[in-house]
C-alpha cells in the first residue's frame, strides 16, 4: 500500500504528530461516522487537545486495524519518516501476541530499529506497553507473552530516549465498562481515558471543560449464571467466531482500508468534525 506525502504539508506545520499502529490507534470502539473509517479514538482526541495549545500542529494517523507488527513497520514507518514528525506514538504487536505462535525476540529487533530511526530524526517517541489481560478468561493466556513484550518495550525506550505509556499499569482498564462489546477494543470512555493518560505522559495540562472528560459509566449489570452464559454465547457468535475465521483464511479486518489521515492535516480542525 502506497501513501502519498506532499512536501507542502510538511512545510505547513511546525509541529507534526504522527500516530502509528493497528486498531488501538486507529480508534476502533469509538465510533464516529463523520470521520474516515468511521472511528475517532484516543489519538484523534490527543491531537485535538495539542492543537488547542499549538495551532500549527499537523496530524497524521497511519494506523489500520488488524495489522501485525511487521506490517505496521513495513507500511507506515517510511511514510512517517517522510512526514518529518516531531512527535510519534507507536503501538504494534498485540495482533502478533494473539497468534498461536510468535517469535517476540525477532519482532522486537525490528521494533528496536524503528524506534531508533524515529529518534535519529529527532522525533519525540511515545511507545506503549501491552494491556494486562490476566483477569480475562479468554485473553488471559497471553499475559506471559505480553509481559515479555513489555520488557522489550521498556528496554528499547530506555536505550533510545523514548517515553513509555505504561498501559500495563493502568488499573482502571480492569473495569470492563471501558471496553466495547467485542471485548477486544476500548469503548468510547476507554478511548477518552487513554487520551487523558497519553496527554498526562506528554506533560500536557488539560484545561477545565477540555472535552476530554470520561463520561459517567453505567452500572454493571448483575447477570445470573444463565444470563452470563447467553451473553458469552452471543459474543462468541458475533465477535470471536468471525475473528477466528479471518485468522484461518488469512484475511484481516483492515483489508481494503486506507489510513484515516495518510498526510498531515490541521489537528485544530478535527474538533469541528
pLDDT category of residue 273 using cuts at 50, 70 and 90: very low
* pLDDT value at 202 more than 60: yes
Q: What is the pLDDT of residues 176-196, one digit of tens each?
A: 889 888 768 999 999 999 999
Query: Beta-strand (E) ranges in the chain?
Result: 15-21, 57-61, 87-91, 124-128, 163-165, 261-266
Average pLDDT over residues 201-217: 76
The β-bridge relationship of strands 124-128 and 87-91 is parallel
How wide is the angle at C-alpha 175 spanned by C-alphas 149 and 147, nearest 5°? 10
* pLDDT value at 97 more than 70: yes
* pLDDT value at 20 more than 60: yes
CA 40 – CA 46 distance, rounded (Å): 11
pTM, two decimal places: 0.85
Identify the CA nearest to 128 among candidates 106, 107, 111, 104: 111
* pLDDT value at 272 more than 60: no
The CATH number that domain 7-213+221-272 falls under is: 3.40.50.1110
pLDDT at 190: 96
Domain extents in the chain = 7-213+221-272
Amino acid at each position: 500500500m502506497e501513501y502519498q506525502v506532499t512536501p507542502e504539508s510538511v512545510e505547513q506545520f511546525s509541529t507534526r504528530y504522527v500516530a502509528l499502529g493497528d486498531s488501538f490507534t486507529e480508534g476502533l470502539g469509538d465510533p464516529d461516522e463523520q470521520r474516515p473509517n468511521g472511528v475517532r479514538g484516543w489519538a484523534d482526541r490527543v491531537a485535538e487537545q495539542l492543537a488547542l495549545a499549538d495551532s500549527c500542529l499537523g496530524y497524521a494517523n497511519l494506523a489500520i486495524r488488524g495489522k501485525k507488527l511487521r506490517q505496521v513497520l513495513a507500511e507506515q514507518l517510511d511514510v512517517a519518516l517522510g512526514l518529518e514528525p516531531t512527535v510519534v506514538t507507536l503501538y504494534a504487536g498485540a495482533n502478533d501476541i494473539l497468534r498461536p505462535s510468535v517469535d517476540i525476540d525477532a519482532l522486537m529487533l525490528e521494533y528496536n530499529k524503528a524506534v531508533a530511526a524515529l529518534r535519529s530524526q529527532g522525533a519525540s517517541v511515545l511507545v506503549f506497553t501491552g494491556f494486562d489481560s490476566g483477569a480475562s478468561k479468554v485473553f488471559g493466556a497471553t499475559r506471559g507473552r505480553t509481559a515479555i513484550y513489555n520488557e522489550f518495550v521498556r528496554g528499547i525506550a530506555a536505550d533510545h530516549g523514548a517515553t513509555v505509556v505504561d498501559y500495563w499499569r493502568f488499573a482502571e482498564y480492569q473495569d470492563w465498562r471501558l471496553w466495547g462489546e467485542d471485548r477486544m477494543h476500548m469503548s468510547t470512555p476507554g478511548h477518552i481515558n487513554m487520551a487523558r493518560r497519553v496527554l498526562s505522559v506528554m506533560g500536557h495540562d488539560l484545561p477545565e471543560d477540555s472535552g476530554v472528560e470520561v463520561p459517567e459509566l453505567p452500572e454493571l449489570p448483575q447477570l445470573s449464571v444463565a444470563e452470563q452464559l447467553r451473553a458469552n454465547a452471543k459474543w462468541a457468535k458475533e465477535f470471536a467466531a468471525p475473528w477466528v475465521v479471518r485468522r484461518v483464511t488469512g484475511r484481516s479486518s483492515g483489508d481494503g482500508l486506507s489510513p484515516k489521515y495518510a498526510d498531515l492535516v490541521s489537528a485544530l480542525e478535527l474538533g469541528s468534525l
